[in-house]
Structure 1
């Protein structure tokens, strides 16, 4: 019992019984240990093995960015990041990270040194830019002659055109720019001259002032929502994209520098996409998109025209910034917003113009509109003066609302595969819409000439639906007569368009040109149908003739879409072989029915070109040779005497050409001076063909039928950064 509670010491007492502890051997310890202790030995051995291995280090580039690195040292293999970014992957034991503050300080010191070098260059050559500018002023070309004229000195200033020392220093400064230092590479001084720069295009301050004046005098009345009292510097500080867009629109007919428009197309287009990629935070970007969708850069192919896509982005950006709720901007921003009354009025105007432009783009391209006519645009009767639009904007907004009503009533039937309303309903719907148009016309009263032109365009948009009518309907002739009246009214208003500065048709938006082409196609079809017995054929031919010349007058660059479509209209008239006598068969038939029916009111244009192409093929003509040698509208002779269709060309004529066809109107009544532009150059070049696509898809939603079908014998300066020819 005495042994109870005593600790056992048998394992620690020696055999001599003296109680001295004895050390166990490693072997005995191993035998006496539990199985888990063997793992501890293995871990110790592994730890020792790791100590003997070299330490894994990241490469210099990954250490600088504090990123995980997978470099392999033995055998050496660069890390995946350096391989992907093509960096020099190396490991240096003495490498130390460089902080951003010290690196920025070093860049600032280099910028200060480079500024001193630029100052020395200015002191040595103060008059270099002024002499070059004077030499450029001596070169005067017409707006359409820049493509065929080759000048040894470019009309815009590129780095290669300046002093090598001067531009070398400027480019070095631009590459090391720190925005916090207050230096702007796009606004530089040279002696007494100042200029703006975008990529390699430089515009002197004097030209900037001229281009702004041209914009506000000739273009701004068509879209009056910008403040003319602001200086170009104010616009640039507000939004560089808006500044360069105004410059680009003003350069469309800038005779002092006829190359400027094409040289700006690439840089400004890239600026647009880069600005949108950065998620715009300023509603002034929406203003720039409104201008670009109204006056897009010239192109010779609709497959490369981004206007409809930019229009959708314009609406989306505007809504993301809260322009449709201008009095609740705080709900669309994470920052505190203090809304001023002037800014509120500006946002309301911008949202109205945004919807106006979106509606016109949708109508002109034959697509559904992306407009949103909400309370903000319907509050003209409110007591809040900040929501009241200027009269010229309000009246044009009402016109576009009417166009939207026409589109939704006639072309958005969910029960029809192509969205058309039923034949039984169309007659009644047209009657109601015509009454709405009459009321709108009465409310408008005596408006300015530009608003009247937009009003006539909306009426044409309404009555173009007559081509979808059933010929067996009893009021079919009356509907065609209303279409004819709407067409002639619009075309006459367009070709007599004048403001206080004179004729301005050549400065009109792209939408007006599109409606003019639709009007020309309407006259063409009516004059070659049974309906010709109900109209004055001589007047209709003369109006068609003037329409072609008016469309050519809208062209801003050789071989752009207006000029190509004018040539197509001329060839369609000639291929029809209209005789001067009235047709003897006046019975109603289905020749006016459309096969292309998915592009709303603009289906007429697509259908006309499709029929023209099929007509050429069925007659067994060499279509490629025919398009390589189109009729020259400025001469009475064929453009090519060796063409396989040359004999057929002498049988008919093109509008404006006095040849053997007495049925065609004589020389055009509408001259280039009436259009507000200079006479086009007679210089002719040759473009390569090869545009033909044997299996061209008629219903491709991204292309017009004439893409790649017309190859004019005029040179066309390609736009940098923008594809201009061929089918994408």
Structure 2
């Protein structure tokens, strides 16, 4: 009868509004950002990033204005032990999975790291083929750019390619405006890629920092990051560390520097000493403005940027650098301070062990300037050979501190720098003996007497069977720097 049909319909409505708990639990995807205060609204974001135009039909949602209370926390509560997962050819126990997600620390099994690197090295390029990237995909790319794969070389680092995709994706989402879910940018395939203002601001700031750092390290033209970032900085000023905001301002200065220098070098095949000095004077005026807090970490960032400016002294033409020896000593002093600051930070907080790739590149630049200056005529006169050896060992310890496993890029770079120092010492001793012989020949009041036996002895001295380069593993140097028989072309400053 109609009364029975009406009663059944009322029961079905009641069951839909107040479902009975019959003990059965349904699986719900975990949210890795649920407990992260940096991403408070990420639970409401759609997870699809590849085929945003092909979406499954949404489930019917209850009206948000309903007075019935809803319990949103029970859907994400753990209802049982975590099941094992397969990663490559390895089986991860559920206890290890819980430990990794709760502690975010090092792998219990060192082979897990190798497996993850191999897996990411394949999957990241599939991610780049997506029509539109959401914040989770951009964050994954930024993490890989900050801590690249340990198997890379200096000239095979994929970071320039990855960061360009991340930077373009940020611009397409309108993150540079500091507004999340910007209606003018979320169109077409990006219409469901929502975000909060805080997420947009944080992502944009870190993308700008890494974009400029990677451009500086790779020698590629820097991207344009001179936008009005007032909105972004106002949103994150109370949540981000002041050192990170200092780093952001330093990268905006570095962006202007390298853009101007690229134009100078392209037009004049070099940059005059006076131009570099003007930029260095401007940086001295900028330092007290951008420094928000005086710490060793902010000091390292400032020294790194200052070294970027002073490195252009080495690109000035010989006819336009009358004070080259003095400027080289200033770069030497900055490099020395940077190495000492890095050692202090490593002792206090393992700064190098957990540092990003640009920290290692700054240490490499400082180490190369120190060692090359020590073996040149611009070396400080007060340094003894023992002091020079001690300084070289400190440089090597800093580079080794950036290594996370055997045969990664910092470990190989440390060995290459050590072998270069040994070879330079051998060549320096040979050149010193040659100069002494040359001076003795031309300062003697008596004309030199040609003696066949004496000339033979001199030839034997200069062409001794001991090869100062015999201890160098040239294949390692060639592999890391990509020299395959052709003359190398460096796009950036040394």
What TM bracket, shorter-length normalisation?
A: 0.5 to 0.7
Contact 1:449 1:498 in 2 (8 A): no
In structure 2, the partner of 1:456 is 303
Give the Å deviation of 1:471: 4.8
Cα shift readout 1:619-663 (whole Å, capped 9, x = no counterpart): 996989952899xxxxxxxxxxxxxxxxxxxxxxxxxxxxxxxxx
Give the Å deviation of 1:321: 2.1
In structure 2, the partner of 1:13 is none
In structure 2, the partner of 1:33 is none
In structure 2, the partner of 1:525 is 372
In structure 2, the partner of 1:434 is 280
Distance of aligned partners of 1:181 and 1:331 in 2 relative to their CA distance in 1, 3 Å threshold: closer
Distance (Å, rounded) in 2 between the aligned partners of 1:195 and 1:362: 41
In structure 2, the partner of 1:102 is none
Give the Å deviation of 1:435: 2.5
In structure 1, the partner of 2:264 is 413
Give the Å deviation of 1:209: 5.0
Distance (Å, rounded) in 2 between the aligned partners of 1:693 and 1:271: 25
Distance (Å, rounded) in 1 between the aligned partners of 2:389 and 2:471: 28
In structure 2, the partner of 1:511 is 358
User: Does residue 374 of structure 1 match 2:227?
Assistant: yes
Q: Of 106, 109, 114, which aligns to 1:262?
A: 114
Give the Å deviation of 1:386: 7.2
Q: TM-score, normalised by structure 2?
A: 0.66
Give the match's secondary structure for 1:547.
helix
In structure 2, the partner of 1:351 is 204
Distance of aligned partners of 1:411 and 1:214 in 2 relative to their CA distance in 1, 3 Å threshold: farther
In structure 1, the partner of 2:132 is 280
Distance (Å, rounded) in 2 between the aligned partners of 1:264 and 1:370: 30
Distance (Å, rounded) in 1 between the aligned partners of 2:486 and 2:409: 20
Cα shift readout 1:146-194 (whole Å, capped 9, x = no counterpart): xxxxxxxxxxxxxxxxxxxxxxxxxxxxxxxxx9999xxxx9x997334
Distance (Å, rounded) in 2 between the aligned partners of 1:271 and 1:283: 17
Contact 1:293 1:310 in 2 (8 A): yes
Distance (Å, rounded) in 1 between the aligned partners of 2:313 and 2:185: 44
Contact 1:507 1:554 in 2 (8 A): yes
Cα shift readout 1:278-301 (whole Å, capped 9, x = no counterpart): 223412211111111010111153
Distance of aligned partners of 1:585 and 1:460 in 2 relative to their CA distance in 1, 3 Å threshold: farther
Contact 1:552 1:563 in 2 (8 A): yes
> Where do residues 655-666 of structure 1 align in structure 2 (5 Å cutoff)?
none
Give the match's secondary structure for 1:333.
coil
Distance (Å, rounded) in 2 between the aligned partners of 1:452 and 1:363: 19
Give the number of aligned pairs: 387
Distance of aligned partners of 1:625 and 1:485 in 2 relative to their CA distance in 1, 3 Å threshold: closer
Give the Å deviation of 1:524: 1.5
Contact 1:356 1:400 in 2 (8 A): yes
Q: Of 545, 555, 561, which aligns to 2:409?
A: 561
Distance (Å, rounded) in 1 between the aligned partners of 2:406 and 2:171: 37
Q: Of 212, 216, 231, which aligns to 1:363?
A: 216
Give the Å deviation of 1:357: 0.7
Distance (Å, rounded) in 2 between the aligned partners of 1:509 and 1:416: 34
Contact 1:496 1:503 in 2 (8 A): no
Higher helix share: 2
Q: Of 325, 332, 339, which aligns to 1:477?
A: 325
> Where do residues 300-315 of structure 1 align in structure 2 (5 Å cutoff)?
301-315=153-167
In structure 1, the partner of 2:44 is none
Cα shift readout 1:417-462 (whole Å, capped 9, x = no counterpart): 65x33x2xx32x3233223322333231643332322221111111
Distance of aligned partners of 1:318 and 1:446 in 2 relative to their CA distance in 1, 3 Å threshold: closer
Distance of aligned partners of 1:259 and 1:190 in 2 relative to their CA distance in 1, 3 Å threshold: farther
> Where do residues 478-627 of structure 1 align in structure 2 (5 Å cutoff)?
478-498=326-346, 502-534=349-381, 536-537=383-384, 538-577=386-425, 627=473
User: Does residue 292 of structure 1 match 2:138?
Assistant: no
Give the match's secondary structure for 2:196.
helix
Distance (Å, rounded) in 1 between the aligned partners of 2:315 and 2:210: 26
Give the Å deviation of 1:265: 1.2
Q: TM-score, normalised by structure 1?
A: 0.46
Distance (Å, rounded) in 2 between the aligned partners of 1:287 and 1:691: 28
Contact 1:470 1:476 in 2 (8 A): no
> Where do residues 209-220 of structure 1 align in structure 2 (5 Å cutoff)?
210-212=99-101, 215=104
Give the Å deviation of 1:414: 6.9
Distance (Å, rounded) in 2 between the aligned partners of 1:300 and 1:393: 26
Give the match's secondary structure for 1:406.
helix
Distance (Å, rounded) in 1 between the aligned partners of 2:300 and 2:293: 12
Give the Å deviation of 1:517: 1.4
Distance of aligned partners of 1:294 and 1:402 in 2 relative to their CA distance in 1, 3 Å threshold: same
Root-mean-square deviation (Å): 4.4
Contact 1:460 1:486 in 2 (8 A): yes
